Amino acid sequence: MGFKFSYVCDLLSGLERNRHLKATSAAKAQNPDYRTISSWCLNYSTRLHDKDTDLLAVLSCLFPEKRPDRVYWLQHASLARIISRCLYLGASRLKALSQWQVSGKGDLGECVENVMSQAENQILPKQEVTVEEIDNVLQELASRCRFSGPTVRRKHAAVDVDEVLGPLYRRLSSRDAKWLTRMILKSYHPVQLPADYVLKKVHFLLPHLLLFQNSLEAAVELLKSPSLKLFPPQPQSDLASLLGDKALEHFVPRLGIKIGRPEYYKARSIKHCINMIGQRRMSLERKYDGEYCQIHIDITKGQDCIQIFSKSGKDSTIDRVGIHDVIKQSLAIGEPHCKVSRRCILEGELLVWDDRDGKILEFHKLRKFLNRSGMFIGADLDSQPKSYEHLMIVFFDILLLDDDVCLSKPHRLRRLLLKETVKIISGRAEISEQEIIDFSRPDAIRRLQLALSRSIAERWEGYVIKACDEPYFSILASERGDGFSRWVKLKKDYIPGLGDTADFALIGARYDAKDAPSLSSTCQLSWTHFFIGCLDNKEDVVRLSASPRFRIVDMIGTHSLSVNDMHVLNQWGKFVACDVDSNTAFECYSIRNSLPNMDVAFKTPFVVELLGSGFDKPSNAQYYTLRFPRVLKIHWDRSFEDTISFVELQDLAEKARAIPANELEEENAVWLEKVASTNRKNEYIVDKSQSTTSKSSFTCTSPLSKSAGLNSPGLTPPSVKQAPASLIRDRRPFSQSPTTSSLKKRKRTISSAYLSSTLDFASRLDTTSPNLNFTSSTSILNTISSTLAPASCLKHLKISAPTSATIMEHSATMDLDQDLEQYLRARGSPIPGAWASSIGRSGNHDSSSTQSPDPDQTLSGLGSAFTTPLREHSTVPSHDVSTRAAATLDEALKFIEEAEAETKSNAGPGAVPSQGAALHASLPDGTKRDTEIPVLTDPLRVHPLSPLSTIPMYCAESGFQEDTLRQAPREFTFSAKHFVKSLGFQYTRRTLRLSNPAAVKNDMALGIVLVDFTKPSAVLAMQLYDIGNLLAAELSHPEPDLQPQGKIFFLDSRILKAGGEDGIENKMFLLTDWWSEYGIHYFYATISWRPGIDSTPAPVVSGPRRLIDQINEHENSARATATSSRPRAAANIANVYEPSEVEVLGEWVSVDPTVHTLGERYYSPPLTTTLLTYEEIFGPLPNWVPGADPTYDGPADDSAIRYSSSAFI
């Protein structure tokens, strides 16, 4: 009977159901698709290889895209009309079928399923549709289309589409009809079959067969040949290798069947390219910007001896008839000295040559020389071919010469054979330019940089890098490894910082049902394509505030936007979208008739940075624009007035395309410097680029915050839980972060936070003293600062008087022109003050301890539904904490003398004094006072590690996860609940001691939440809300595992790149100075908690605080908690928006030698590689059984751990 089509639908439906399973964490370990495919192939293995089953028909149904010879000439609209006639649909069901054109209603296949499910077909036994029937029908449909392959067209017959498709649809269930519809459209989206895995499960030889003969028909025919038909489809693993090697003897190229191509790697930087190449000897071949051709020569056919295949595998012999004579001349066909006696297969690139200028012309020139099945597509506005313009062919490989199968030869020998076979004809037939580089030599990197800079200066597309000593396919080599025989593409637009970029305006959008299934994971999908506009009257708009007039130059869709950017544009676009006819914000028009119409216009255009692979003329257009544009970043801080105008775009394209004849050496030198500089960057991009940073300074305000002169109504963000990113302090570009070496050179007499935690300055002050001054006198402040800290730390020292319970009000010594509360409000912060709550054990509390918020400070800008990220009411009483106060000079000096005396008295008679640090205090009379203060030591067993490699990190936003995981060699937590719990793990505390020993000593927890810098306004408030409530719930337990105090920092995700080549392991992250000067620019907010002692509400300290103040404060709280006989009391939790909070993350003054902010209380061995056991690093192991303690996630055995100068492995 054949193979039932319902069997194929079982597999496709199973894969469609797996989309939900893939969202689970279990799917990360094993892809459920593989399990579904294996089970399906196992169940139907006997039927697949039955003599009555047409294996070619099965494979054609599974992989319709692998039949380029079949073109049905049916698109969504025409197919929908045919299906409605085949099913005899009435008006109501016809309306339901047309819902595929509406966003969010599913694709055409889903609509067909919904309509047919209302009246399911009754399928009689033995009347089921088979894949053989479907294959015959599709063959008939393809034979009627002029764009189908010549072999299919030869079987052309008069076909009525309704008559051949109607019987199929009326015998299918609704589910199967959905998949038939998608098969005709050649897209199973959202299902994607892993082709190699499915083919291997059907027959283990199929993937290799398709390399040699890239045709399903030829591959199946070879499997049925006498030499291979006895091979089992699924042999045992040890036998499969032997049988595969034996089968290679029968894998030979055939004329008339296209040979497959090796896989490519894309080099994302020079360093990345070098890593892929290794120590091999490589051939750098110039990559030409033309159309790929695989040329088959069969001398026995006489004048019609040439057959040409395109990259897709389609027979394009007739379309490329203009190059046939050149190929015959270059191969000397018909002449005595012709090297081809019977057959030959070559590879080349089809280009257009200009005899007048003696150069290769741009890609768009090919349109007027090449037709597609007799039609010139996209050439309506192109000029007619000139007499000095003609086609040329550039050969770059030879795969077969008579009986010599060149595929197994190394590339260097194939190149020699190619030069012997092909005769060069200037301007007509050439051999690709080549440069050989031996990457085992020390100058290889420099030579590669020179080659790339030369290619960019001369406006080449790039290079294709091939190994000189490797065959065409890796399966033909005796040594096979990862990356073996794979080619490397090296182009400037693959490398960050080298591609052609410009800012453009997105002025409108449209919805296309064809692309909607591939974006099914994007929520609230309203549009799939966005229109790029350039101002025609930019000067009048900027100078005279004239009405903007945009010219539509291009349209971008799924291939140009990441999923995250697509979601952002769909989300925010709803608030500025309007009907095109009712748009009064600007005028727009298009002179490119191939572009569809816009569905909506954006009254406030979006500004995006686009990266392109050079400039080219699009089809049916007479202007230049970026080729293959991809969105790098959405700029919320720029208006459409900052984008490139149409005139500027043409000027930029002209400069980018022009080869500087007289200044080629100078431009080559400029590009060489750029290429060399990119090698120092630790960046990586993907094909569908994520939102990355640009050279502009980082700001991220709401996309609707700037109307940019356009008349648009006041808008409210779509979610009341989204806070604008104006909390970001954009005071210094991130590129100004210093190196570790520069910070090492800073000298310290004594740290600004030198005083030992046992010597608490503020706790010793007599608050009743008449000398106590709460003013912000400049002289007093400067004197105190000079006493307690060296000059380099003065700008970080802040002493402030006690104020109200909000940290946002009136700090006497803030380094802003206005106080922080006013600063945040002016920037549009949704959080006008600090929110605090007391969470802890149950108990009665005074209702007055929780004050009601001031109605004037409510979040009116976000609506009344906004809720704070913490609980608004206390569950138990909180405890009092002493406040900070400024001191007079006499009290400060008195305190230092008492500290020295107490430290000396605590030292035992046999104690060995440690190396102290000199304290230089400026006395009123101008004399210097040197004081040696020895401190108790607490040595570390290894050199301190960067806090970014030891502190738990929570990464919740998928928009930057991929880039984050590439940049940072550490583990991340993707569960907010696990993140909060992990702060109290014993293993976390022991690891944290390697970077922040003082925090661990004082029982203080530290955590970091990474905030996606591309959309902080959309995630910050929600993350504060989630983390805050989880923390509150954890601390509310009678005996919580969390430390009694701690801080969770919300930092910009780009901090993972601030360390340069060393990444997160850069030692500069240990330094207090780095965090105080540069780390503050990555700061968003802090959730801080600390213990209470009694039921008195704890006031929140106002204004910025020094690192020593924060450490002393936590030590006092820890001692108070330890000495209290009562159970652990309430925990005071507060949100803090003071960037100086991040100084807690850096506890060190110097890296080499290591000097802690508490003097030499902590020290470590030299910066060398050491092999230590777990016990030597973290101390004795606890008495526990692996797996028994759910709160411990450390190593399960006493295995050795290697630490180096920059990382631990």
**712: its two tokens:** 């648009």
Q: What angle do CA 45, 47, 49 make, to 5 degrees?
A: 70
Cβ–Cβ < 8 Å for 1065, 949 = yes
Report how far residue 995's alpha carbon sits from residue 874's, in angstroms, rounded to the nearest whole number. Answer: 34
For 854, the token pair is: 């001031």
- What would the mean pLDDT of 1042-1067 be, rounded to a whole number? 88
Angstrom distance (rounded) from CA 530 to CA 601: 10
Quick: pLDDT tens for 319-371: 999 999 999 999 999 898 899 999 999 999 999 999 999 999 999 899 888 88
Pairing of strands 600-612, 630-635: antiparallel
SS3 assignment, position 133? helix
Q: Which residues contact 464 (CB under 8 A, 6 or more apart)?
A: 284, 285, 287, 487, 488, 489, 490
Helix (H) or strand (E) holding 1173: strand 1170-1173
Q: Which of 451-465, 1127-1141, 1161-1175 shows the lowest mean pLDDT across its residues?
A: 1161-1175
Using DSSP, state whether 488 is helix, strand or coil: strand
Separation between Cα atoms, residue 437 and residue 467, nearest integer Å: 10
487-501 tens-digit pLDDT: 899 999 999 888 899
What pLDDT does residue 438 have?
94
The DSSP secondary-structure symbol of 279 reads T
Summarize the confidence of residues 933-941 as an average pLDDT. 54
The upper half-sphere exposure of residue 1, i.e. CA atoms within 13 Å in the direction of its Cβ, equals 10
pLDDT, residue 433, reads: 95
What's the count of helices (H) and strands (E) in the chain, helices before strands? 36, 33
Among candidate residues 1116, 1044, 1088, the one with its CA nearest the CA of residue 883: 1116
> In angstroms, how far is CA 678 from the centroid of its own chain?
18
Q: Could you identify the residue written with the tokens 């969202």?
A: 23
**Nearest in space to 881 (alpha carbons), one of 1129, 1086, 1087:** 1129
pLDDT score, position 724? 34
| 566 half-sphere exposure, CB direction, 13 A CA radius | 27
Choose among 460, 395, 467: nearest CA to 430.
395
Q: How many residues does the chain have?
A: 1209
Structure tokens at 674: 């750029």
281 forms beta bridges with: 438
Q: What pLDDT does 703 receive?
A: 34
Whole-angstrom CA distances from 515 to 72, 524, 525, 526, 602 are 19, 15, 11, 12, 21
Q: Is 962 helix (H, G, I), strand (E, B) or coil?
A: helix
Q: How confident is the model at residue 878 (pLDDT cuts 50, 70, 90)?
A: very low
CA distance 530 to 565: 12
Of 967 and 212, the structure prediction assigns the larger pLDDT to 212
CA 962, distance to chain mean position in Å, is: 5
Beta partners for residue 838, in sequence order: 1132
Give 142-199 pLDDT, tens digit per residue.
Answer: 998 888 888 888 877 778 899 999 999 999 999 999 999 999 999 998 888 999 999 9
Please tell me the distance from the alpha carbon of residue 428 to that of residue 409, in angstroms, as a whole number: 27
Mean pLDDT of all residues in 536-559: 92
pLDDT digits (tens, 9 = 90+) for 659-683: 877 778 888 888 988 888 886 554 4
Whole-number pLDDT of residue 930: 40
Mean pLDDT, the chain, rounded, equals 74
Q: Comparing 32-36, 382-386, 632-636, which segment has the lowest mean pLDDT?
A: 382-386
Q: Which residue has the higher pLDDT, 913 or 435?
A: 435
Pairing of strands 1148-1150, 1083-1091: unpaired
**How many CB atoms within 10 Å of residue 178?**
26
Q: Does pLDDT of 821 surpass 90? A: no
The whole-number pLDDT of residue 152 equals 87
Q: Is the pTM of this model over 0.75?
A: no
Residue 437: pLDDT band with limits 50, 70, 90: very high
Show the domains of the chain with their CATH numbers.
5-202 (1.10.3260.10), 203-251 (no CATH), 264-490 (3.30.470.30), 500-678 (2.40.50.140), 1165-1209 (no CATH)
Phi, psi (deg, nearest 5) at residue 1176: -70, -30
Query: Which phi and psi (to 5°) does residue 237 adopt?
Result: -60, -40
Kindly state the average pLDDT of the residues 66-95.
91
Structural contact between residues 1073 and 1146, judged by C-beta atoms closer than 8 angstroms: yes
Measured in degrees and rounded to the nearest 5, phi and psi for residue 845 equal: -150, 155
**Among 473-487, 593-607, 1138-1152, the least confident range:** 473-487
Q: Between these two residues, 961 and 1191, which has the higher pLDDT value?
A: 961
The answer to whether residues 838 and 849 touch, using CB atoms and an 8 Å cutoff, is yes
Residues 353, 389 contacting (CB under 8 angstroms): yes
Q: Which two tokens stand for residue 894?
A: 């008195």
Q: Residue 453 and residue 674: Cα distance in Å, rounded?
A: 8
**CA–CA distance, 772 with 886 (Å, rounded to integer):** 7
In order of 289, 450, 492, 678, the CA distances from 675 in angstroms are 21, 9, 9, 5
Interatomic CA distance for residues 637 and 1017, integer angstroms = 13
**CA 518, CA 502: separation in Å to the nearest integer?**
28
Distance, in Å, from the CA atom of 403 to the CA atom of 65, rounded to the nearest integer, reads 32
Those residues whose C-beta lies under 8 Å from the C-beta of residue 632, and which sit 6 or more positions away, are 501, 608, 609, 610, 611, 689, 691, 692, 694
The torsion region of residue 302 among left (phi > 0), alpha (psi -120 to 50) and beta comes to: left
What does the angle CA 356 – CA 358 – CA 360 come to, to the nearest 5 degrees? 115
Return the sign of the alpha-carbon dihedral for residues 1019, 1025, 1031, 1034.
Answer: negative
Contact, 1140 vs 1080, CB < 8 A?
yes
